[in-house]
Amino acid sequence: MVRHVCAILFLTVTGVAVVQLRWAQNASHAEMYRLEAQRLKVRRVLWAQQLQLNSPALPSPSRAADPVWAIELAAPGAPPRPQRYLVQRD
């Protein structure tokens, strides 16, 4: 009789311990998920700020399409063409 009571008590304690461990594991997984979501949110904000700070340094689309800055393509072996400069040279 005492053996049965000890076995039942041992199994009960083991079951409670397993439930507590699973509860702690689920809580830590939820915390990790929240922290990962917060990290991604901060990265998005940082990326937006970097783009905003860097936008004056980027060339505007109208300037990129300026024909003065265009590269002239020539076939291999063709004679070199005179280069155009932004400033007139004497």
pTM of the complete model: 0.48
pLDDT digits 0-9 by tens, 37-82: 999 999 999 998 888 887 666 556 655 555 555 566 777 877 777 7
User: In angstroms, rounded to a whole number, what is the distance separating the alpha carbons of residues 39 and 43?
Assistant: 6
pLDDT at 79: 79
Sketch the domain layout of the chain as residue ranges: 2-54
Closest to 69 (Cα-Cα) out of 78, 61, 79: 61
Judge contact between 48 and 40, C-beta under 8 A: no
The predicted-structure confidence for 4-44, as pLDDT tens digits, reads as follows 999 999 999 999 999 999 999 999 999 999 999 999 999 99
CA distances from 73 to 36, 62, 81, 87 (A): 50, 21, 10, 21
